[in-house]
């Protein structure tokens, strides 16, 4: 039976940027069932084609853009796209997702994924239209930010924003800033572990796809709408889902203060009494909002916003998500939400991953305030808490590697290690090289463990949706044994979600509802157990990739400040360092990994059908 009859495309586009050659490649049905799509399929390609010795900036590195079988369907928020590569912060596997429309339009054009290899001699962009692909010259787009790039490509192609999705790099990516992101559709960003820098190394400025003739296939289309509705209704029962739907993710702010997980002034404190203006039901009543939902999404957390008062009146940008508010508000000492709004949008337009950028700037400010950096070192900028214009100027310098910005472009771990001394102890990062999301994980132990042991440069377990499905009861969030057990037991669900092409905010239902929708699209009979096997297979595949590329358990440690003891707030006095080694012992044991080398044991690899990895590692 042709693969298209199964509800997925079974087709990827290959792009050799060195030669300019493009060709199609089919994927057999067994491989699609085993890896599903998104990160699963991309992880297989990454492992198969990027051997040890290929660095992140090497032309032989792969840059993979993948949707999934639910992409572009009636399932809410099914416009998600995954970017998978070997990244510059950890020099290991990278997987990061963004929403919007590219995932949909990729599938409308008949592809599950695009795989880039080689490197162009000059800037180019990929154009997909009516199932055909071409590389176009992008020299005229050099140094343009991501919004300018989208407008310029739309004008060149004669396409309106509603008919064209453009994901691009800004100046940060072109200049190989290690935490450069890929940003698209004016407000959707995939950034963890520097995928924008990989695009920059390949001279790939953008990927543009039109809303052309629909080439998707859905096995049981008449029943999928029912299943999508059931998913949505069940998902809204999950705590916080209704709040997110009504007020966006900024509703996290008050809870973050109460729990002690809001990062304030580079984690020197957990107190932020100015948090209320950052809540959606406060600023949304002040400013002008226009809804800009992603594909088939009924959540109300995406808007184009015009500031209508104060010194930034008239500024137009995309409504920040929680992590942007946290990075450009409390992390850098900004108490005015309008100023944080402007900084968050500058970061998106320049093409940064917002959390790493926030930790970099927060570290610089703390060092400056404590007299470790002088105004001469910071190129005449007074880097003090809340100095919005100095922060804004420094972000532009980093994006173009100018002056002090050239050092900061290496990311907070490398910059702090180069500076050394007392300043190095203030930096927040995992010793693999990436920084955490914009939370204070000293009061969120499960996410610190997840982040530090992750194979992708960001969380893998994430927020535990329906933990009862996995027999998880995390009663004490400061118990090393309970936390490490919960992270291991839940591991795999988020990876399975990232195979599907759907936003996580729309996957808060029970796993059986998600599997039901997948089966209606593909014609499979996958149950919740097999879905978890797909997720855990992907986790172990990425772990094997990283082990082969030299990442060992010795770097699965938080930096001194990241793993320090909070001095105030709800988590005051809690010391994760006392339990760190025992947490790792328990986690590794439950995952079926060798504590000394990090390798998945042979029986673990056999369980998930990873025979090639067994031969490579053992």
481 and 408 in a single domain? The answer is: no
Residue 523: count of CB within 10 angstroms of its CB: 15
352 and 498 in a single domain? The answer is: no
- Per-chain mean pLDDT for the chain: 95
581 and 537 in a single domain? The answer is: yes
Q: How confident is the model at residue 1 (pLDDT cuts 50, 70, 90)?
A: very low
Burial of 14 (0-12, 13-18, 19+ CB in 10 A): middle
Note the pLDDT tens digit of each residue in 567-589. Answer: 999 999 999 999 999 999 999 99
Phi, psi of 472 (to 5 degrees): -100, 130
**Cα distance between residue 90 and residue 333, in whole Å:** 28
Single out the residue in 166, 185, 210 at which a domain terminates: 210
Domain that holds residue 54: 3-210
**Cα distance between residue 600 and residue 618, in whole Å:** 10
Residue 423 lies in a domain: no
5 has a pLDDT exceeding 60: no
**Cα distance between residue 99 and residue 103, in whole Å:** 8
Both tokens of 421, joined, read 């001394």
Residue 301 lies in a domain: yes
CA distance to 170, 270, 483, 493, 504, per residue, from 98 (Å): 16, 29, 28, 18, 10
214 has a pLDDT exceeding 80: no
Phi, psi of 291 (to 5 degrees): -60, 135
Percent above pLDDT 90 for the chain = 86
179 and 53 in a single domain? The answer is: yes
CATH of residue 273: 1.10.569.10
Single out the residue in 157, 178, 210 at which a domain terminates: 210
Q: What is the 3-state secondary structure (H, E, C) of 226-279?
A: HHHHHHHHHHCCCCCHHHHHHHCHHHHHHHHHHHCCCCECCCCECCCCCCHHHC
2 has a pLDDT exceeding 60: no
Confidence at residue 360, expressed as pLDDT on a 0 to 100 scale: 98
Question: What is the rounded average pLDDT of the residues 344-370?
Answer: 98
Question: What is the rounded average pLDDT of the residues 29-46?
Answer: 97
Confidence at residue 218, expressed as pLDDT on a 0 to 100 scale: 79
Question: What is the rounded average pLDDT of the residues 388-393?
Answer: 98
> Could you report how far apart the first and last alpha carbons of the chain are, in Å?
37
354 and 314 in a single domain? The answer is: yes
Residue 436 lies in a domain: no
The structure tokens 């940060």 sit at 172
490 and 341 in a single domain? The answer is: no
**Cα distance between residue 286 and residue 45, in whole Å:** 48
**Cα distance between residue 273 and residue 397, in whole Å:** 31
Max intra-chain CA distance, the chain? 69
The answer to whether 435 and 426 are in contact (CB under 8 A) is: no
Residue 273: count of CB within 10 angstroms of its CB: 7
Quote the Cα angle for 176-425-384, to 5°: 70
The structure tokens 């699963």 sit at 40
Q: Considering only CA atoms, which of 254, 296, 306 is closest in space to residue 279?
A: 254
6 has a pLDDT exceeding 70: no
All residues at 6 or more sequence positions from 316 whose CB lies less than 8 Å from its CB, including other chains: 304, 305, 306, 307
The answer to whether 121 and 89 are in contact (CB under 8 A) is: no
CA distance to 330, 461, 474, 559, 575, per residue, from 478 (Å): 24, 17, 10, 19, 9
Which three-class secondary structure state does DSSP give residue 304? strand
Q: How confident is the model at residue 343 (pLDDT cuts 50, 70, 90)?
A: very high
The answer to whether 360 and 408 are in contact (CB under 8 A) is: yes
Q: How confident is the model at residue 529 (pLDDT cuts 50, 70, 90)?
A: very high
Burial of 173 (0-12, 13-18, 19+ CB in 10 A): buried
Q: What is the 3-state secondary structure (H, E, C) of 131-180?
A: CEEEEEECHHHCCCCHHHHHHHHHHHHCCCHHHEEEEECCHHHHCCCCCE
Residue 422 lies in a domain: no
**Cα distance between residue 186 and residue 269, in whole Å:** 33
Confidence at residue 219, expressed as pLDDT on a 0 to 100 scale: 82
Q: Considering only CA atoms, which of 70, 86, 88 is closest in space to residue 78?
A: 70
32 has a pLDDT exceeding 50: yes
* Total domains present in the chain: 3
CATH of residue 147: 3.60.9.10
Q: What is the dihedral of CA 352, 389, 430, 325, to 10 degrees?
A: -80
Single out the residue in 184, 210, 236 at which a domain terminates: 210
Confidence at residue 390, expressed as pLDDT on a 0 to 100 scale: 98
Residue 421 lies in a domain: no
CA distance to 293, 359, 392, per residue, from 467 (Å): 29, 31, 41
86 and 198 in a single domain? The answer is: yes
Both tokens of 308, joined, read 């209508």
Note the pLDDT tens digit of each residue in 91-112. Answer: 999 999 999 999 999 999 999 9
570 and 595 in a single domain? The answer is: yes
Which three-class secondary structure state does DSSP give residue 284? coil
39 has a pLDDT exceeding 70: yes
Percent above pLDDT 70 for the chain = 98
Q: What share of the chain is helix, strand, coil (3-state, %, to 5)?
A: 45, 15, 45
Strand partners, 209: 128, 165
390 and 465 in a single domain? The answer is: no
**Cα distance between residue 388 and residue 338, in whole Å:** 10
Strand partners, 182: 190
Residue 504 lies in a domain: yes
**Cα distance between residue 142 and residue 461, in whole Å:** 37
Confidence at residue 512, expressed as pLDDT on a 0 to 100 scale: 92
Note the pLDDT tens digit of each residue in 347-359. Answer: 999 999 999 999 9
CATH of residue 577: 1.10.599.10
Q: How confident is the model at residue 215 (pLDDT cuts 50, 70, 90)?
A: low
Both tokens of 323, joined, read 């992590």
How many residues does the structure list for the chain? 618
Both tokens of 45, joined, read 């390609």
What is the secondary structure of 547-583 as a DSSP string? Answer: HHTT--GGG-SB-TTTTS--SSSTTTT--GGGGHHHH
Both tokens of 258, joined, read 């109460």
**Cα distance between residue 196 and residue 116, in whole Å:** 13
504 has a pLDDT exceeding 90: no
377 and 228 in a single domain? The answer is: yes
474 has a pLDDT exceeding 60: yes
Note the pLDDT tens digit of each residue in 101-153. Answer: 999 999 999 999 999 999 999 999 999 999 999 999 999 999 999 999 999 99
Question: What is the rounded average pLDDT of the residues 336-365?
Answer: 98
Residue 428 lies in a domain: no
229 and 174 in a single domain? The answer is: no
403 and 295 in a single domain? The answer is: yes
Q: How confident is the model at residue 8 (pLDDT cuts 50, 70, 90)?
A: low
Residue 100 lies in a domain: yes
Note the pLDDT tens digit of each residue in 417-439. Answer: 999 999 999 999 999 999 999 99
3 has a pLDDT exceeding 50: no
Note the pLDDT tens digit of each residue in 272-307. Answer: 999 999 999 899 999 999 999 899 888 878 999 999
505 has a pLDDT exceeding 90: no
């Amino acid at each position: 039976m042709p693969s298209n009859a199964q509800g997925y495309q079974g087709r990827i586009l290959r792009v050799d940027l060195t030669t300019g050659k493009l060709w199609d490649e089919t994927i057999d049905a067994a491989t699609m069932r085993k890896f599903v799509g998104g990160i699963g399929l991309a992880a297989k390609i990454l492992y198969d084609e990027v051997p040890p010795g290929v660095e992140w900036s090497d032309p032989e590195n792969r840059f993979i853009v993948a949707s999934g079988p639910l992409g572009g369907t009636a399932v809410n928020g099914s416009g998600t796209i995954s970017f998978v590569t070997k990244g510059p912060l950890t020099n290991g596997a990278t997987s990061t997702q963004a929403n919007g429309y590219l995932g949909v339009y990729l599938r409308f054009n008949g592809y599950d994924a695009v795989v880039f290899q080689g490197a162009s001699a000059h800037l180019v962009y990929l154009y997909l239209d009516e199932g055909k692909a071409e590389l176009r010259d992008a020299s005229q787009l050099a140094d343009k930010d991501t919004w300018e790039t989208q407008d310029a490509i739309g004008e060149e192609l004669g396409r309106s924003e509603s008919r064209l999705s453009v994901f691009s790099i800004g100046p940060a990516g072109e200049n190989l800033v290690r935490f450069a992101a890929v940003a698209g559709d004016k407000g959707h960003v995939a950034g963890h572990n520097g995928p924008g820098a990989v695009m920059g190394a390949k001279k790939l400025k953008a990927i543009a796809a039109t809303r052309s003739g629909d080439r998707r296939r859905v096995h049981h289309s008449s029943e999928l709408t029912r299943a999508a509705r059931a998913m949505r209704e069940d998902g809204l029962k999950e705590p916080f889902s209704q709040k997110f739907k009504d007020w966006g993710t900024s509703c996290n702010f008050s809870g973050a203060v109460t729990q002690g997980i809001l990062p304030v002034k580079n984690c020197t404190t957990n107190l932020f009494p100015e948090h209320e203006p950052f809540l959606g039901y406060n600023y949304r009543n002040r400013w002008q909002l226009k809804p800009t939902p992603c594909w088939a999404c009924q959540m109300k957390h995406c808007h184009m916003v015009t500031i209508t008062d104060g010194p930034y009146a008239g500024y137009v940008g995309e409504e920040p998500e929680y992590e942007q508010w946290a990075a450009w508000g409390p992390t850098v000492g900004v108490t005015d939400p309008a100023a944080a709004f402007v900084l968050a949008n500058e970061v998106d337009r320049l093409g940064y991953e917002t959390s790493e950028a926030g930790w970099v700037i927060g570290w610089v400010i703390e060092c400056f305030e404590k007299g470790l950096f002088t105004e001469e070192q910071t190129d005449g900028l007074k880097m003090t808490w809340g100095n919005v214009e100095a922060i804004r100027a420094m972000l532009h310098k980093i994006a173009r590697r100018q002056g002090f910005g050239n050092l900061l472009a290496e990311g907070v771990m490398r910059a702090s290690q180069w500076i050394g001394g007392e300043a190095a102890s203030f930096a927040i990062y995992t010793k693999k090289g990436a920084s955490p999301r914009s939370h204070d994980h000293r009061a969120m132990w499960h996410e610190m463990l997840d982040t530090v042991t992750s194979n992708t440069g960001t969380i893998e377990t994430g927020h535990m949706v329906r933990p009862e499905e996995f027999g998880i009861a995390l009663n004490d969030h400061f118990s090393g044994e309970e936390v490490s057990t919960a992270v291991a037991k839940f591991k795999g669900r988020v990876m399975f979600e990232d195979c599907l092409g759907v936003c996580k905010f729309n996957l808060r239902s029970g796993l059986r509802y998600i599997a039901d929708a997948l089966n209606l699209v593909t014609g499979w009979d996958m149950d919740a157990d097999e879905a978890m096997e797909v997720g855990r297979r992907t986790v172990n595949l990425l772990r094997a990739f990283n082990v082969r590329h030299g990442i060992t358990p010795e770097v699965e440690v938080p930096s001194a400040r990241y793993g320090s003891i909070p001095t105030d707030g709800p988590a005051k006095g809690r010391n994760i360092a006392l339990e760190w080694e025992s947490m790792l012992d328990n986690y590794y044991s439950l995952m079926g990994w060798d504590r000394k080398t990090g390798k998945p044991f042979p029986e673990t690899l056999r369980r998930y059908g990873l025979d090639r990895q067994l031969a490579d590692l053992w």
